[in-house]
Amino acid sequence: MKEIYIKARAKVNLNLEILGKREDNYHNLESVFQKVNLYDEIYIKKTQTDDFKLNINVKALNTKENIIYKAYVKLKEQYKVISGIEVTVNKKIPMQAGMAGGSTDCAAFMIAMNKLFNLKLSKEDMESLGRSLGADVVPCFYNKAIKAEGIGDIITNIDTHFKYYMVIIKPEIACNTKEMYQKIDNKKDIKQLHTTNSIIKALENEDVQLLANNLYNVFEEVVQEKEIIQHIKKELIKNGALQALMTGSGSCVYGIFKDKQLAKNAYRALKDTYQTYICTSYNVKKGEMF
């Protein structure tokens, strides 16, 4: 095999609860991650050199701070069989959006490298390497709905293939993850709803109304542009969403719809005003990972 192509799928958080700050300054969380069929495209080609070359359609990301480059360096340190590569990324997932764009690119890149160079990395090997690169990388290995705990690295599989429809809006604001966690730390009176069990039940029973009724994100309590987020949520609900929620630490907001036609109608109504995407939940049919 000389080259490989992989889709790096975005995620949304169906709920997100912060359970406290750890001694290592990370935070313990509980969240149901749902992969969706919005994705970045990654092409990797072996080269005759010993170098790493990155082509990406977002100029600001074409640096050695890119998480894909960091993953390459770590893999090459451990596996001498790895040669030079040329990586091309067609980025479609919005940035600073709470959709794990960088983390899912990293996870997909590692899975592709494992296949391209026949590294024979186990699930545990992948997770260990992913954990060293970023807190969100581990859940991004799973191309389906999962429960994430710890810093996001303790994964529980959810038995579901539920397909439901979403419209996602990226506001003209960006949320800095580190700053959002600091705001959580500074706010003492947050009441969390603990909806994980209800969300898992909704996914397993394919109950879209129960799912919509239990969407929750603690970061909505501290987002500075709360009025903008709330306005977009109201716009989605006004256009047929059963409920809407900000994902991750922001700033994307998604609405869940009862059926495809309602989602299409909302997308058409909102796309000229906002940066808008329409997609479905994604749960891979075979295996746990990509």
Report the distance separating Cα 267 and Cα 210, nearest Å.
23
Tell me what pLDDT residue 288 has: 56
Quick one: average pLDDT of 4-15?
A: 98
Q: Does the annotation mark 11 as catalytic?
A: yes
Phi first, then psi, for residue 48 (nearest 5°) are -80, -5
**Residue recorded with tokens 């980025």:** 91
pLDDT-wise least confident of 24-28, 54-58, 241-245, 257-261: 24-28
Report the distance separating Cα 278 and Cα 10, nearest Å.
13
Give the single-character DSSP code of 189. Answer: -
Quick one: average pLDDT of 172-185?
A: 88
Check if the beta carbon of residue 138 is closer than 8 Å to that of residue 131.
yes
Report the distance separating Cα 55 and Cα 70, nearest Å.
15
Each residue's pLDDT tens digit, 125-151:
999 999 999 989 999 999 999 999 999
Tell me what pLDDT residue 187 has: 84
Tell me what pLDDT residue 17 has: 96
Position 286 confidence tier, pLDDT thresholds 50, 70, 90? low
Quick one: average pLDDT of 199-226?
A: 96
Phi first, then psi, for residue 9 (nearest 5°) are -85, 140
Q: Give the tokens for residue 24.
A: 């290592």
Report the distance separating Cα 250 and Cα 224, nearest Å.
10
Report the distance separating Cα 142 and Cα 179, nearest Å.
27
Tell me what pLDDT residue 189 has: 80
Tell me what pLDDT residue 146 has: 97
Instruction: State whether residue 35 is helix, strand or coil.
Output: strand
Report the distance separating Cα 248 and Cα 124, nearest Å.
25
Tell me what pLDDT residue 12 has: 98
| Residue percentage of the chain with pLDDT more than 90 | 82
Q: Does the annotation mark 260 as catalytic?
A: no
Amino acid at 90: N
Check if the beta carbon of residue 199 is closer than 8 Å to that of residue 147.
no
Tell me what pLDDT residue 46 has: 97
Whether residue 103 is preceded by a cis peptide bond, meaning omega within 30 degrees of 0, is: no
Q: Are strands 253-257 and 165-170 parallel, antiparallel or unpaired?
A: antiparallel
Q: Is 43 exposed, middle or buried (0-12, 13-18, 19+ CB in 10 A)?
A: middle
Position 176 confidence tier, pLDDT thresholds 50, 70, 90? confident
Confidence (pTM) = 0.94
pLDDT at 102 over 80: yes
pLDDT at 290 over 70: no
Report the distance separating Cα 148 and Cα 126, nearest Å.
16
Q: If you average pLDDT over every residue of the chain, what do you get?
A: 94
Position 178 confidence tier, pLDDT thresholds 50, 70, 90? confident
Q: Of the listed 91, 136, 144, 233, which one is catalytic?
A: 136
Please give the residue that has the higher pLDDT: either 241 or 191.
241
Quick one: average pLDDT of 115-119?
A: 97
Instruction: State whether residue 171 is helix, strand or coil.
Output: coil
Position 188 confidence tier, pLDDT thresholds 50, 70, 90? confident
